[in-house]
Amino acid sequence: MRTLICTYGYRQDKIVKAMRTIEHDELVLVTGKGNTARPEYSRILELARKFDTPVETVIVDIFDFMSCFTRIDEIVRKRQAAKQSVVINISGGLWLLSDAALMAAMNNGCESYYVDDVIKKMPLMLPVLKVNIGERLTSEQKETLLELKEGMSVPASGSPDKGPETRLRALRELKRMGMLSIDTSSGGPRVFLTPNGRSITEWLKR
Amino acid sequence: MVVILGTLGHHPETLLPTIRSTKGVDEVVAFHSDHEDSIKAVEEIRRTCQMMEVAFLPHPIPDAFDLVSTAMEIQKTIAELRAENKKIAVFNIAGGTRIMSASALLVCTLEGLNAVYVHDDSHREIPLPLLQIKYSDILTDQEKLILRFLLDRKGAEVTQRDLASELHLHKATINHHVQQLLEKRAVRLEEKEGDKRVRLIRVEDSMALLLR
């Protein structure tokens, strides 16, 4: 089973071109409220029906980047958990929706495309490798992030069954990656997640 | 020297929150198209930077509707800034065309940069969950060598045997690296027209972004 997730605004051509050029068994349209009332949307459904392609439409708040990202991320991870492959076409809808889909694709290692008239070679495959964000971190780094409590003192951070050197190394690496900050203003060093570190930890927990 | 980068469209207010919130910013680099309204936005940012005594470098994007060339242009600028030992604090991807913004986000992921977007109504900056490590670290040096070889011979018919002979590596070694590249979806295999026994190794042009 191969799911094609398309961001969708109102232009049917971007979806139709993706349907013609990207192999898929199921179509998921991610779009804003109101776009499903347009005749272009009905034409996409009609075409999908002719090809016996199931369509799921997911309505998102297209002005809220993080909620778009979280929703697309959920769709991807649900399918990946069921051992289905997922392809993402980021060319429809507002830029914010495209960017959210691109980020979900990169974080989950999904095959991704951009489909548009202005591209000579279509569809344009984006350089997204089949590696998700969790696979780019070492197990010590992931463990440290997942077990970290805000304001923990440095020696106590991380898993108790790991040696202090392993924990300190992971903390140093995570700090270098901009995911942690160390505060020494009130006595011993204490560890805090940066906004970026918090977002990635939330992603790992989901 | 602390630099902030941004894609700029018709609305200068998308970049202003980042200029205001970044501590000790010394330079602002804005990528923009040649659209009349974008030029107006550039002038607005220039005036703000002058008032703040911050250097401003507008960077025109030759084709703001070409994703790969825009990403390469942004990547080149980042490489130049890094070569000058400038510290890139953050990349604001909230302005510009869809292609410019997507290119910027792609480059932030590839280069391991902090990225933010700005909420339309609240003008609040939202940090994006990206790892600050180079994306190409996913590939080993040998895998990069093979990718570079394939990209340099764009369109040429290359087999594993060709790779082994040109790169002076054992066939088994090449096979191992090609399998890894296939697993990571960096290359694909294609049957040779007229001879189905021969499998050609193909790479997409956009993979060049991983090697810069």
Residue A75 structural domain: 2-125
DSSP 8-state class, residue B120: T
Q: How far is B98 from chain A (nearest CA, A)?
A: 4
Note whether A144 and A174 are within 8 A (CB).
Answer: yes
What is the tens place of the pLDDT at every residue in A104-144?
999 999 999 999 766 556 789 999 999 999 999 999 999 98
Domain count, chain A: 2
Residue where a domain terminates, one of A101, A125, A149: A125
Q: Is A200 part of the contact surface with chain B (CB cutoff 8 Å)?
A: yes
- Could you report the average pLDDT of every consecutive run of 10 residues in chain B (212 residues)? 96 93 94 95 96 96 90 96 96 93 95 90 85 90 96 92 95 96 96 91 93 84
**pLDDT of amino acid A37:** 93
Task: Give the pairing type, strands A152-153 and A190-193.
Answer: antiparallel
Give the H or E element holding residue B130. none
Single-letter code of the amino acid located at B23: K
Interface test with B, best of A96, A99, A107, A120 (most B CBs within 10 A): A99
Query: What's the token pair of residue A54?
Result: 């199931």
Pair A30, A89 in one domain: yes
> What pLDDT, on a 0 to 100 scale, did the predictor assign at position B127?
85
pLDDT at B120: 78
Question: Within an 8 Å CB–CB cutoff, is residue A64 touching chain B?
Answer: yes
Q: Is B136 on the interface with A (CB under 8 A)?
A: no
Residues A169 and A97 in one domain: no
- The predicted complex's ipTM stands at 0.89
Q: Residue A142 — left, alpha, or beta (φ > 0 → left; ψ -120 to 50 → alpha)?
A: alpha
Which residue is associated with the tokens 């029906």?
A49
Assigned CATH class of B136-211: mainly alpha
Does residue A112 share a domain with residue A141?
Answer: no
Q: Domain ends where: A66, A101, A125? A: A125
Residue B210 DSSP symbol: G
* 3-class DSSP assignment, residue B110: helix
Q: In this structure, what CATH number is given to the domain that contains residue A94?
A: 3.40.50.10770
| Domain harbouring A160, CATH code | 1.10.10.10
Q: What is the pLDDT of residue B157?
A: 93
What residues does each domain of chain B span? 2-133, 136-211
Phi, psi of B89 (to 5 degrees): -75, -45
Residue A165 is predicted with a pLDDT of 78
Residue closest to B98 by CA, chosen among A105, A97, A119: A97
One domain, residues A176 and A115: no
Residue where one domain finishes, among candidates A125, A150, A181 = A125
A67-75, Cβ contacts within 8 angstroms, sequence gap of 24 or more: A68/A30, A68/A96, A68/A97, A68/A100, A68/A101, A69/A100, A69/A103, A69/A104, A71/A30, A72/A5, A72/A30, A72/A100, A72/A101, A72/A104, A73/A104, A73/A107, A73/A108, A73/A203, A73/A206, A74/A206, A75/A3, A75/A5, A75/A28, A75/A30
Is the pLDDT at A160 greater than 70, yes or no?
no
The pTM (predicted TM-score) of the whole model is 0.89
The two structure tokens encoding residue B61:
């994007």
Output phi, psi for B169, to 5 deg: -125, 155
> What's the full length of chain B, in residues?
212
Tally of residues, chain A:
206
Angle at CA B3, nearest 5°, toward A203 and B4? Answer: 50
Among partner residues A63, A95, A127, which is closest to B102 by beta-carbon distance?
A95
Quick one: A103 and A170 in the same domain?
Answer: no
CATH 3.40.50.2300 describes domain B2-133: no
